[in-house]
Structure 1
Amino acid sequence: MDLHKYISGKISLNDYLHRLNQNGASFQVHYWGVMPQHYDTPLHKHSFFEVCYVVEGKGIYTDDYSSYLLQENTIFLSRPEVLHQIKSEKGLSLLYVAFELIESESSESWIRIVETAKQCTEIVVHGKDEIETALLWKSLLIQATKRNNEFFEEVLSNIAYSLIISILQDFVPDLNKSNHMNIPEKYSMLLNQAQLYIHDNLSNSLKLTEVAKHLHISGRHLSRIFVSELGVSFSKYVRDERINRAVLLLKKTNLSIKEIAEETGFINVQYFTRVFTTMMQTSPGRFRSLFVDINTTTYSDN
């Protein structure tokens, strides 16, 4: 696999995939990497997870002063706050990603899963053939080179989320035995209907009682569905969807900030700006200008 042809895909991933929100989990992705020739790194640590997949080559991975052989089709996990190091005389072809769970936006079950991953002892997985995680990773990079696809961002987000889940399954064996990730059957249809209604009516007020009335259930019942299935409150889910829509409009339209605030259901532009800035750590105007700057930058691999 020639990784040089996926450099543009890596750039797209770093442009578009910073947060992944599905099924009660919210992941912050710090960076995506494609490294055709990786040699040595100094002994260092991160405050987040970093996962690498060896496409080609051989080397040694040191983690907490234990050493592991790296070879083709090896995936290895660098846990938060653990000293680690990569060494290779002839170079490794690597794919890598760095991420962490945003606990304040995630369910208790996801927090437990990630805590288990932090404590895992099997941090290197060798495969005779390409493992499922590698196939997802390559699929993601292939899709990331197709910026002109109509559903480009949606496809990327779904594959990236599946990749993170697959990575966690590689290192947290209990995930493969449990069905606790499944949405409860008796509520899944109601949740789907509520999500569709919210998605299609973001410019409206979207009060809990109004959405519940549309679904012919009580507000208390609807509130329980969001907490039990997604691990977030109804109001937080709506707010996140408004901001996600605002991000899309800032990227892809010339609508004014005021028009975007109205389109996403905020009561006024001041409130919209305050919520957006809190969630995205930058103002709507600054976000738009940064995005424009990124897309007009010429990248070089030299």
Structure 2
Amino acid sequence: MDKFISGKIALNEYIQRTRSNGVSFYIHYWGVMPQHYNNLPHKHSFFEVCYVLEGRGTYIDQGCTYQIEENTIFLSRPEVLHQIKSDTGLFLLYVGFELDESESSEKWVTIIEEAKQCSEVVIDVKEDEAAPLMWKSLLIQAANSESALFEEILSNLAHSLILSLIQTFVVSSNYHSQKTVPKKSSLILTLAKLYIKDNLSNSIKLTDTATYLHLSSRHLSRLFKAELGISYSEYVQNERIQRAATLLKTTDLSIRDIAQETGFPDVHYFTRVFTASMHSSPGRFRALYTKLKTVIYKD
């Protein structure tokens, strides 16, 4: 408890604003109240979020009464009349904040407007969820004012906590529609592409990559076709050609060595495939590129 109180004092001294990734918040206060009983009905011009560490009581929001207890988080919205009551006392963590619209994107203005209208203002969480853990970590970190990068760590933690608290109460369709949720298959394809890139000097058969990813060859083959529009073998050959082109432009390796480095079985096959793809033989490609890089001309 002493650490939380020390942390609260430091936060109020150092963290009055957070800003990152297109969103900025004013922090009006950080609070730690070991024994909170009753207060009068009141309202704020900003958001206040409270987290119950211990105790039981009620929260009244626009005439609706909610039971609150350990690991309850509740939201007081701007200009909404609310009240907290407890006969036995509540151990509360709380923070008051508002969006700085002048330094925030339109997306965040929309999200905050949704937060003002959200219907679920009291939520039970688990103590090992992100927001409770972050809040406690922030206070503990704030109590250690002699740590290196003290203010930078506090600012980042505080900003992340505010974002997490907003996320707790707001499910914004507008926000999520702007985020592309990666499909599981896309992650698999990314891993496949990395494996191919890191093993180009080997044969890298479809069965090898599929085995590495714990997939069937058929499934992996379908992923390449569905997501890239080309077959697995076409993708590997394209990667070999691109790597070979890079080596021709940036190294003095012989064409035979480049063929070996990029996984072609022999220099003749490499030359044939490279010429068909790049419309230039490897030797001519290197010569043309070398001339393009020349900046001093002599008669």
Range class of TM-score, shorter chain: 0.5 to 0.7
SS at match of 2:41: coil
Amino acid at match of 1:173: V
Q: 1:151 aligns with which of 149, 152, 168?
A: 149
Q: Distance in 1 between matches of 2:35 and 2:119?
A: 28
**How big is the alpha-carbon RMSD for the aligned residues of Structure 1 and Structure 2?**
1.7
Cα 1:69–1:112, aligned 2, differ >3 Å: closer, same or farther? same
Deviation at 1:176, TM superposition (A): 11
Cα 1:171–1:145, aligned 2, differ >3 Å: closer, same or farther? same
Q: 1:96 aligns with which of 78, 94, 97?
A: 94
Superposition misfits of 4+ residues, deviation over 4 angstroms = none
Q: Distance in 2 between matches of 1:91 and 1:176?
A: 39
Q: Distance in 2 between matches of 1:176 and 1:5?
A: 39
2:70 counterpart of 1:66: no
Deviation at 1:52, TM superposition (A): 0.1
Q: 1:15 aligns with which of 13, 16, 28?
A: 13
Structure showing greater radius of gyration is 2
Partner residue of 1:290? none
SS at match of 2:151: helix
TM-score in terms of structure 1 length: 0.57
SS at match of 2:176: coil
Partner residue of 2:117? 119
Partner residue of 1:265? none
Deviation at 1:132, TM superposition (A): 1.8
Mind listing any 5+ residue stretches in structure 2 that lack a counterpart? 181-299
SS at match of 1:80: coil
Q: Distance in 1 between matches of 2:5 and 2:36?
A: 14
Cα 1:177–1:18, aligned 2, differ >3 Å: closer, same or farther? closer
Deviation at 1:6, TM superposition (A): 1.4
Deviation at 1:148, TM superposition (A): 0.6
SS at match of 1:173: coil
Q: Distance in 2 between matches of 1:135 and 1:176?
A: 27
- 1:52, 1:97 within 8 Å by CA — same for their partners in 2? yes
Mind listing any 5+ residue stretches in structure 1 that lack a counterpart? 183-302
Partner residue of 1:109? 107
CA deviation profile, 1:72-108 (whole Å, cap 9, x unmatched): 0000000000000000000000000000001111110
SS at match of 1:122: coil
Identity, % of aligned positions: 59
TM-score in terms of structure 2 length: 0.58
